[in-house]
Structure 1
Amino acid sequence: MDRAEALLIGGRSGAGKTTIGWEVSARLRAAAVSHAILEGDFMGQVHPAPEGDPDRSWITARNLAAVWANFAELGYRRLIYTNTLSVLPEAAGMFQRAMGADVRIVRVLLTASDATAGERLTGRELGSELAEGLRASAHKARLLDSRVPPDTVRVTTDGRTVTDIASEVVAATGWTGDPAADAL
């Protein structure tokens, strides 16, 4: 396989992106499917923001390109990338520049109700940013719902197990070529 492929897992804070990304990786490892995984939130974590890059999109794109170049040099062609807004149409250019113009992009939007996201965030946000995190999560849920491309696979996470959700996400990629392996 020469063509690069990216599984973009997006969703509001508290939807389960990181947890599902790692479970998808575990399922792909079990099926002997070569891949790399990146937590997109870490690609632009600098303070202060670079001059001229207030939303840190330039540094994120630059870091993605550098890390992907290392993965590609080692022969990897599939990437799992988790980040809230990675499924929006404007993010595609960043992946095309980093992975090649013909990269196959699979977008998965994880959704969660306000109650579910609130419960998850309250359980993990132990510092000073809970209130802002809850507000931003609700805002981004509405933004994502209205702006993701029509081919985005929407996966509800409320009341479901991690393994059940990951099965649905792996199936959306077609990377195993085996529906039985996708349902491990």
Structure 2
Amino acid sequence: MSSALVLSGPPGVGKTSVGWRVFDRCTDLGQAPAFADLDLLGAAWPAPDDDPHQSRLKATNLAAVWSNYVQAGSKRLIVAGVVENQRERRQLEEATRGPVVICRLDAPDAELAQRIHDRGREDGADLANLVARASELSAQLVADDVSDYSINTAGRTIDDVAAAVLTHWNRAST
């Protein structure tokens, strides 16, 4: 059984919300889960010119966090974060010392834009830039697909998406 699931996708698709719900379900099933958010593990400034999205830092920090989680008794890792290419996938596999299952979450651009607006964290130019980035990244993640499976989150509840993610993860892990 693969011990690591990565929820990838553009901003606004629900990676963190779905990740927490998958974590809750794994807890209820006695699977000893742990949760990590790559955005938080890479929240350092400035980013190096050769790694503008801090993928190396995120992987390095994930390795340390996962090691600590394992020592504390965790058996399964749920990670929320964007995986744009095979290099980033390999970094995460090195960090978790094994294969990862990547689930790409998808939603139409209009829904992503609405969710980003609704969460109210950004405004002005930052909001416009994030909405544009979500649209660009959504198309890129489909074109350069490194996921094992994808789930459309449009019009679905977090519970419904989490159930589908967990079903696919369990299937991909056997």
Give CA deviations for 1:25-74 in whole Å, capped at 9, x if unaligned: 11111111111100111111111225764432222222111111111222
Aligned residues: 170
Report the Cα offset of residue 96 of structure 1: 2.6
Aligned residue runs from structure 1 range 61-140, under 5 A: 61-85=59-83, 88-100=85-97, 103-124=98-119, 125-128=121-124, 129-140=126-137
Secondary structure in structure 2 of the residue aligned to 1:70: helix
Pick from 115, 122, 142: which aligns with 2:139? 142
2:2 and 2:65 map into 1 onto residues whose CA distance is 14
Larger radius of gyration: 1
Alignment match, 2:35: 37
Report the Cα offset of residue 77 of structure 1: 2.9
Contact 2:55 2:88 in 1 (8 A): no
Query: Structure 2 unaligned runs (5+)?
Result: none
1:118 and 1:97 map into 2 onto residues whose CA distance is 33
Stretches of 4+ aligned residues off by more than 6 angstroms: none
Alignment match, 2:3: 5
1:144 and 1:52 map into 2 onto residues whose CA distance is 20
2:145 and 2:49 map into 1 onto residues whose CA distance is 29
1:51 and 1:143 map into 2 onto residues whose CA distance is 21
Report the Cα offset of residue 4 of structure 1: 5.9
Secondary structure in structure 1 of the residue aligned to 2:46: coil
CA RMSD of aligned residues (A): 2.1
Secondary structure in structure 2 of the residue aligned to 1:85: coil
1:90 and 1:51 map into 2 onto residues whose CA distance is 17
Alignment match, 1:166: 162
- Pair 1:155–1:37, CA change in 2 (3 A): same
Report the Cα offset of residue 85 of structure 1: 2.2
Aligned residue runs from structure 1 range 16-31, under 5 A: 16-31=14-29
State the TM-score, normalized to the length of structure 2. Answer: 0.88
Alignment match, 1:155: 151
Identity %: 29
Secondary structure in structure 2 of the residue aligned to 1:109: strand
Contact 2:56 2:91 in 1 (8 A): no
